[in-house]
Structures are given as structure tokens and as C-alpha cells.
Structure 1
Amino acid sequence: MQPRIPPTLVIAVAIVGISLVTLGGVMLPALWYELATRRDPARIAFAVIAMGGVLVLYGRLLWQNLMRRTHALHRVGLVVVTVLSCALPGALGDTWVTSLIAPAGLIPLVLPLRQAIVVTAAGTLGISGYGLLLGFHVLTVVFEFFWFPFAALSGFVSIWMFHVVQELREARAELARAAVGEERQRFARDLHDVLGHSLQAVALRAEVAERYLDRDQARVRKELTEIQRMARDSVRDVREVVRGYRATSLRAELEGASAVLRAAGIGCEPPEMLPDLPPHVHQPLGWVAREAVTNVLRHSAATRCRIEVGATADGVRLEIVNDGAGRRAAGEGGSGLVGLSERIAAAGGEFTAGHLGDGTFRVTATVPQKGP
């Protein structure tokens, strides 16, 4: 079962919360030592103020940069966090040595990558020298030397992964909009091809009828009859375009759907098609494929989508199953699936769509071999 990707805001809150809990956790033993052992009110007050300032600034800077609200003053905030982090062990002793790691996670967030690398290297050497200057044990200094760049790398990976997920989500939404836009363009092209020629022919016939209006009544009646026939044919063609009958191929629909899904990063292979499918199954099953794939792109966090076409005792069966569906499945209860059910029923078939309970969503449509 594939986990559903939560909304971007939830991921950001989780990153900030986990980072603050981790940072507070490594500093909390030192604060507890001040409270339980030394019991100096002045030291405790200084420790609480400095530690609180570090956590508040860290959380704010992390949140702002996750939301891409960068500002030049963030560098000032990084400097303040660094000063407070260095002041704690400098004033209170080596029990606060872990606070020196606090600025590391902010460096790749606040600074450009090249500057962050240089500052991280300088910071690694700086805290090592600072630890030796304060008389810390050599093993403590070695620990800080390796932990500081690791913390900086962790901060970089966290924000990089967050922005990658955000960009992938936006790309998926854009692909869904592109799929809808492509369908609109296809409809517009078909409508133009049908009406453009027909209306031009009607206009020419009308001009001929006008030309012979005073000279040849028989010719005028003939032209008017032809105009009526062409108008009826145009109405029929427009209805075919609207209903999707014109040049509809289930194979083309499924190949296009699988290509769109793969472009969105969703694993999907074109299904094996049955030979000699009856013409009447292409239109209703083609609509099912379009709507189901659009729902996968819009409403799910799918990584895999399986499309199968097969023959049953009841007719031709199309099944589309995707993972990444939440409790309320992709498109469930919407007008799209209701419309598909009505289309398949009109074709004499059966339609089902629903959540399977294991994070997957299945759409199944069956159309009889013989037309209604």
C-alpha cells in the first residue's frame, strides 16, 4: 500500500516541528543539569532566554524559507542564532556544547548553495577552534567537527526534498490542466472541421439562390432544398462530435492516457487491446478512460496505474486501478463518475467505481459486444 502524500502545509509543519523537537532534545539535558544540579537562578535565566531565542528564531527562519519567503534579514537572524549558540557554552560550560550545532541546519536555508558550502566549512573549523579555546575535551571537539557539517547537510536535504515534493505536486496539477486543455482543443478542431466546411457550403448555396431569385424559381427551390439537407447533416455531425462518436478510437484514448500518466511520474503501460473491437464500444469506454485518468491526476497521489481491456461473457470490460487513493477516493461522489455511469447505462453496460480499502481505487466499465 502506497502512503498518501499529505498537503504541502502539513509537510512544512511536520518538518518545523521535528526540527525543533530534535534541536530542543539535544539541548534539554544541559538545561536539566542547570535546574537539578547547579540551581543558580542567574544561570538558569540566561539558559532559558538563550535557548528559547535559538528555538524561536530557528523555527521562524525554517518556516519562512520552506514557504519561499526569503529576506535579507534572515542572514541577521542566522547571525543571532550563532551568537546565542556560542554564548551558551561560553558562559555556562561544556555541558552546552551541543548548542553549537544549532546554526548548521539554517546555513543551507538562508544562504545560496555555494556560500552555504563555504560558510559550513568555515563554521566547522570555527566551532572546533572555539571548543579548543574553551578547553573542551578533544573527543568533544572531534564530535562537533563531524556533527556540524552533517547537520548542515540534513538541513539542505530537508528543504530540498520539501521543494521537490511541492514542485512535483504543481507539475501533476499542470499536467491535469494540460490534459483537459488538450481535450478542449481536440473538440474545437473537430467542431471547426465539421462546421467550417458545412457553413461555407451553406453560404455559397445561399448566394446562388439569391442570384437566381428573380430569374429561375426552380433553381432557387433546388438550392433551398440543398441548404436544408446540408443544415440537417451539419446538425448530425455536431451531435456526433459532442458525443465523441467522430474518429473515436479506444486504442488511441488508452495510449494517450498512459502517456500522460507516465509524464506525470505515474507508472502505467498501454494495455493489450482485443482484436476487432465492435465500433460501438469505443465511444463509451473512451469516455471512461479520459475521466478516470483525469481523476487520477487531479485527486490522487498515485505512483502506479493499471489499465486492462478484456472480453467477458457480458461484453468488453475496461478496468482502471490506481494506488494513492485516500479515504474519499479520487473523484468519488463527483459529477464526472455519475456522468460516466449514465453513459455506460445508455450503452446497455455496467459501471462501477469505488475505493478498495487498501489505498487503491478501481473504475470498471463493461459494454455488451452487441450494441443496444
Structure 2
Amino acid sequence: MQPRIPRAPVIAAIIVALTSVSLAGLLLPALWDEAFGRRDPGRAVLGLAAAAGVCALYGRLLWLNLTRRTGPAHRLGLAAITAVSWALPALLGVDTGWGNALLVPAGLIAVVLPARQAVAVAAAGTIAGAGYGLVLGMRPLAVLYQLVAFPMVTFSGFITVWLFHVVQELREARAELARSAVGEERLRFARDLHDVLGHSLQAVALRAEVAERFADRDPERVRKELAEIQTMAREAVRDVREVVRGHRATSLRTELDGMSAVLRAAGIACERPDLPTDLPARVHEPLGWVVREAATNILRHSSATWCSVRVDALDAEPDAEPDAEPDTAPDAARVRLEIVNDGASRRAGPAAGTGTSGSGLAGLAERLAAAGGEFTAAAAGDGTFRLVAALPAGET
């Protein structure tokens, strides 16, 4: 079972507590000797007051830097800790363990100061601490320990704060990725729902208009259209349920059948093309969405009288498609869908023909790009509107 990670303030409090215990480990032996070895209350009180003040200020500065509340005044705090810690061995002597106090400010150097300044101060502190220890009469082994321990304590303080901040940034990045995933899923759902309901409701509205026109003169036609409306409504409900479940599959063959049927019912000449026999299964769903959206936009945004649909499986050789335009000549095996209608000049504005804007075509472009394909939709100079979608025939 994965352990639950505490919140940032809790982790910061734990780091401060552990650091305080480490400082106590440096100073308590000397305090113990003052209180129970020398039995000098004055020296013991002085040592206890100095150690308590140093630990309290140290913990405060560490907490503020962990919570990213740094300030220039923190350097004064570091200077105060250094002054008190380095004064204790001179006042109380190094023979009772106060020489360890020389290491106390090292852990804050890289926390309070910028990196370049911290390196210089740590190097200077290492050399000065060793020389100061020799002046105070520290043993050579203790001075050697000072030379090794001072930079190590400095680096340890830096690593502690750096790791804490890295963990917090990773936590924030993880939360941001979760929010982004939720947003992308909402966009996907909205796009699928638009594609499904836009086509189905447009087809239902068209059938209802046809039934209304024949209401007084052809009851049989009206009954036929009403039956079609019922079938389309049931299919729309089924499609919405499958979109909600997230596993709706769109077939290019089925969408071409539906497109040709609904356009012919609207009085637009459209024949379903024959599909290549070796059409890869992976292209059916993306191109099926293109056909569905194209049919919806022709019905909603144009006054087309005819629509031409063509599906080609292009070979990898550039000369496999002699009549291809230079900028569309294939350099790899792919499947190309082309839908052309004559409604571009019959309606002003960017939505003429199959449309050049809106969430539908934007969703198609996203789908094709995700599948490694290309998508273009634009009006031609001859009053037609051309929509072209191309997908690699193999895996991308």
C-alpha cells in the first residue's frame, strides 16, 4: 500500500524538528558537562540560554526558507547565529565540547544565501573555522574534523531544502497534470457529443421538414419519414450512451451510407463511393468522423445541389497518383478522403460550403492530427468547397 504523503507544512515541521534534534546533538554534551561536570550554574545558564536562542533562531530561519518566505533580514539572523556559536568556545572553552558549536551556522549558509555566495562563504568558513579552532587550542583531530564536516553540513542543509522544494514542485506539477487531463477529457466529450448530436439532430430536423411538406398530399410519405425520424432518434440516443461510456466506434462505410441517404433526402445529389478493398481498419473511425461532420455542415451551412465523395488508397511511390497536385503527392502509403460540394458560392461568410470555422472542423483537425494525418477545408475559386483528409495507412 502506498503511504499517504503529508502536506507541505507537516513535512517542513518534521524537517525543522529533525534539524533541531541534530543541533541538540552538537550542543547537549557540552551543556551536560557544564551542568553536571563543572557544577557551575552561571556557565550552565549562559550555555543553555545561548544554545536555546541559537536553536530557536535556526529553526525559524529554516522554516521561513522552506515555506519560501525569504528576506534580506535572514542574513542578519545567520550572522547572529554565527557570532553566538563562535563566541561560545571562546567564552566557555573547547575542552568541554563547545568546539562543536563552530559547525552550527554551516547548515544555514546555503539555505539563506544565493548559491555562488554560499560556496564562497562556506569555503571561507571552513578555513576560518579551522584556524579559529587552532587558536582556541582544539586538538588537531578536532580541527581536521572541522575541515571535513563544515562543507558537508553546508551541503546537507542545501540538499534538504532543495529536495523539499523539488517535492513540492512535483506535487504541484502532478496536480496540474490531473487538471489538464480532466480538461482534455471534457473537450473530448464535448467534441464527440457535438459530432454525434449535430449530425443526428440535423438529420431528424430534415426528415421532419420533408414530412411537413408532404403532410397534406402524401400520407404514405409522411408515415415513412416519421418512421425514419423514430429510427434516427433511437440511434442518436444509443450513440450518446456510447459516447458517455467512451467506447463509441465510427465506421467509414456506415457513415458514407448515412451521408448519401440524408443528402439525397434533402435534394442534394450524392452517391456513396466504393471503398478500396484493402482499406486499413485504423482509418475507419477518424475518416468516419470527417464524413459525419461534413454532412452536417453541408445541411446546416450551404445550399449545395450536389456533393462528390472520393476515397483513395495511395501507394508509397510519388507517381502512384498521377493526377495528384504537387503539394499533395504522397511520400508514404496513406488513405485520402475528398468531399466536394457546390455550396461555397451560395452563402456568404466563413461557414459556406462545409464551413471553415467552428468547433466541428476544429475537432476534426485535432482528431486527424492525433492520428498522424492531415486535414484541410477551404473554398475553391470555382464556387465549390473542398474538404480533404489524409491518414497514413500504417501504424504511426
Q: TM-score, normalised by structure 1?
A: 0.59
Identity of aligned residues (%): 64
Tell me what 1:43 maps to: 43
Letter of the 1:58 counterpart: Y
Q: Is 1:100 the equivalent of 2:93?
A: no
CA shift, 1:40, in A, is 3.2
Q: Residue deviations 1:60-116, cap 9 Å, x none?
A: 111222222222322221111111111111211113111111111111111222221
Q: Residue deviations 1:162-181, cap 9 Å, x none?
A: 22333333333344444444
Tell me what 1:173 maps to: 175
Instruction: Provide closer, same or farther for how the CA distance between residues 215 and 133 of structure 1 changes in structure 2, counting only shifts above 3 A.
Output: farther
Tell me what 2:235 maps to: 233
SS in 2 for 1:136: coil
Tell me what 2:381 maps to: none
SS in 2 for 1:246: coil
> In 2, Cα distance between the equivalents of 1:224 and 1:34?
101
Instruction: Provide closer, same or farther for how the CA distance between residues 2 and 236 of structure 1 changes in structure 2, counting only shifts above 3 A.
Output: closer
CA shift, 1:206, in A, is 4.0
Tell me what 1:193 maps to: 195
Q: Is 1:21 the equivalent of 2:28?
A: no
Q: Is 1:61 the equivalent of 2:61?
A: yes
Give the 5 Å matches for 1:150-299: 150-209=152-211, 222-247=224-249
Letter of the 2:145 counterpart: F
CA shift, 1:43, in A, is 2.3
CA-based RMSD: 2.8
SS in 2 for 1:149: helix
Instruction: Provide closer, same or farther for how the CA distance between residues 211 and 70 of structure 1 changes in structure 2, counting only shifts above 3 A.
Output: farther
> In 2, Cα distance between the equivalents of 1:62 and 1:154?
13
CA shift, 1:10, in A, is 3.9
Listed as ranges, the gaps of 5+ residues in structure 2 are 251-396
Instruction: Provide closer, same or farther for how the CA distance between residues 29 and 174 of structure 1 changes in structure 2, counting only shifts above 3 A.
Output: same
CA shift, 1:220, in A, is 5.3
Letter of the 2:61 counterpart: L
SS in 2 for 1:140: helix
Listed as ranges, the gaps of 5+ residues in structure 1 are 249-372
Q: Residue deviations 1:107-147, cap 9 Å, x none?
A: 11112222211211121122223223334333332221211
Instruction: Name the stretch that deviates more: 174-183 or 29-38.
Output: 174-183
> In 2, Cα distance between the equivalents of 1:246 and 1:23?
63
SS in 2 for 1:195: helix
> In 2, Cα distance between the equivalents of 1:244 and 1:230?
21
Q: Residue deviations 1:307-365, cap 9 Å, x none?
A: xxxxxxxxxxxxxxxxxxxxxxxxxxxxxxxxxxxxxxxxxxxxxxxxxxxxxxxxxxx
> In 2, Cα distance between the equivalents of 1:60 and 1:109?
12
> In 1, Cα distance between the equivalents of 2:189 and 2:198?
13
Aligned with residue 110 of structure 1, among 105, 109, 112: 112
> In 2, Cα distance between the equivalents of 1:46 and 1:171?
48
Letter of the 1:107 counterpart: I
CA shift, 1:223, in A, is 4.1
> In 2, Cα distance between the equivalents of 1:204 and 1:74?
74
Instruction: Provide closer, same or farther for how the CA distance between residues 195 and 29 of structure 1 changes in structure 2, counting only shifts above 3 A.
Output: same
Letter of the 2:111 counterpart: L
Tell me what 2:146 maps to: 144
Tell me what 1:132 maps to: 134
> In 2, Cα distance between the equivalents of 1:244 and 1:41?
77
Letter of the 1:186 counterpart: R
> In 2, Cα distance between the equivalents of 1:108 and 1:133?
26
Tell me what 2:11 maps to: 11
Q: Is 1:91 the equivalent of 2:91?
A: yes
SS in 1 for 2:105: helix
CA shift, 1:188, in A, is 2.5
SS in 1 for 2:138: coil
Give the 5 Å matches for 1:309-324: none
Tell me what 1:362 maps to: none
Tell me what 2:74 maps to: 74
Letter of the 2:31 counterpart: L
> In 2, Cα distance between the equivalents of 1:140 and 1:36?
23
> In 1, Cα distance between the equivalents of 2:113 and 2:231?
73
> In 2, Cα distance between the equivalents of 1:117 and 1:214?
94
Instruction: Name the stretch that deviates more: 144-153 or 127-136.
Output: 127-136
Instruction: Provide closer, same or farther for how the CA distance between residues 182 and 18 of structure 1 changes in structure 2, counting only shifts above 3 A.
Output: same
> In 1, Cα distance between the equivalents of 2:80 and 2:216?
95
CA shift, 1:152, in A, is 0.5
Specify which structure has the bigger relative contact order, considering alpha-carbon pairs within 8 angstroms and separated by 6 or more residues.
Answer: 1
Tell me what 1:355 maps to: none
Instruction: Provide closer, same or farther for how the CA distance between residues 228 and 140 of structure 1 changes in structure 2, counting only shifts above 3 A.
Output: same
